[in-house]
Amino acid sequence: MDTTQLLKGVLDLAVLAVLQEEDGYGYDILRRLREAGLEEVGDASVYGTLRRLFAAGLLTTYVVPSESGPHRKYYALNAAGRDQLTRSGKLWRSFATTMDSLLDDRGMAA
C-alpha cells in the first residue's frame, strides 16, 4: 500500500485543515500540503478535491488580481466546511488511535 491510496480517503480532510489555517489558491494549497509532508500529492488531486468540496457547498471562492501573472482564485471555508472539518477530524483521530493501538499491540514500531 503506498501513500497515494491512503491519501485518497483523507485528502478532503487535509485540504479542509489547510484552508482553516488560511484561505488559499490552488497552487498555494498544493505547496502547503507538500510542506506539511504530503509530498506525493498531485495537482490534479488537489484541484479535483477543491472542485468537489466547492460543489458540495463546503467552500466559497473569490478572485484576487495579481500584479505579476494571472489572477488567483482563492478558496475559503464556510460554516458548513468548518463543520465538516470538525466531524472528519474527530473521525480521523479515533480511526488513527484505533490503528495505532492495533499496531502497538502487535509490537510494530512506529
**Site mask, another protein, residues 41-80, x = CB under 8 A?**
-xxxxxxxx-xx--x----------x-xxxxxx-------
Q: Does 107 bind another protein (CB under 8 A)?
A: no
Beta carbon of residue 104, minimum distance to another protein (angstroms, whole number): 32
Burial of 92 (0-12, 13-18, 19+ CB in 10 A): middle
In degrees, to the nearest 5, what angle opens at C-alpha 30 toward C-alphas 84 and 33?
Answer: 65
CA distance 29 to 31: 5
Interface with another protein (CB under 8 A): 8, 11, 25-27, 42-49, 51-52, 55, 66, 68-73
